[in-house]
């Protein structure tokens, strides 16, 4: 199962990103695990300074904004 993490201090854009991933997974019928990382030490631990960022299976795949819908679909399916 794919493990997603959304990194972000709890601002609106982070919420939007997390919801987009959940929704895309649901639509594709793919089971995923999603975790919101809000602790600054953990976020910076990934080397990320611009939030929201997305981590997939331990790899940072996106940083610095809400990802585009087709990007999210590609992550969930790919």
Partner 1 sequence: MFEALGALIAFRLLHLDPASGLGAAVHFFVMDATKIFVLLVSVIYVMGLLRALLSPERVRAFVRGRPDWQARGLAVTLGAVTPFCSCSSVPLFIGFVEAGIPLGVTFSFLIASPMINEVAVIILIGVLGWKLTALYVLAGLAVAWFGGIIMQQFRPERWVEEYVWKIRLGEAQRVAPDLSLCGRHRFALAEVREILRRLWLWVLIGIGVGALFHGFVPENWVSRYLSGATWYTVPAAVLLGIPLYSNATGVIPVAEAMLTKGVAVGTTLAFMMSVAALSVPEMLILRKVIRWPALALFAGVLAVAFMLVGWGFNLID
CB of 16 to partner 1, least distance (A): 9
Other Cβ atoms closer than 10 A to 50: 10
User: What's the token pair of residue 29?
Assistant: 């019928």
User: What's the token pair of residue 48?
Assistant: 């990320």
Please tell me the distance from the alpha carbon of residue 15 to that of residue 51, in angstroms, as a whole number.
11
CB of 55 to partner 1, least distance (A): 9
Annotated catalytic residue 31: no
Annotated catalytic residue 14: yes
Contact pattern for partner 1 over residues 5 through 44, marking x by CB under 8 A: ---xx-x-xx-------------------------xx-xx
Q: Which of 14, 20, 21, 76 is catalytic?
A: 14
Q: Which residues belong to the active site?
A: 11, 14
């Amino acid at each position: 199962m794919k493990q997603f993490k959304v990194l972000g201090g709890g601002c609106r854009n982070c919420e939007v990103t997390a919801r987009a991933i959940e929704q895309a997974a649901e639509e594709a019928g793919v089971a995923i695990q999603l975790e919101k990382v809000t602790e600054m030490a953990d976020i910076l631990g990934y080397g990320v300074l611009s939030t929201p960022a997305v981590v997939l299976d331990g790899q940072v795949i996106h940083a610095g904004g809400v990802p585009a819908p087709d990007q999210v679909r590609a992550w969930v399916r790919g």
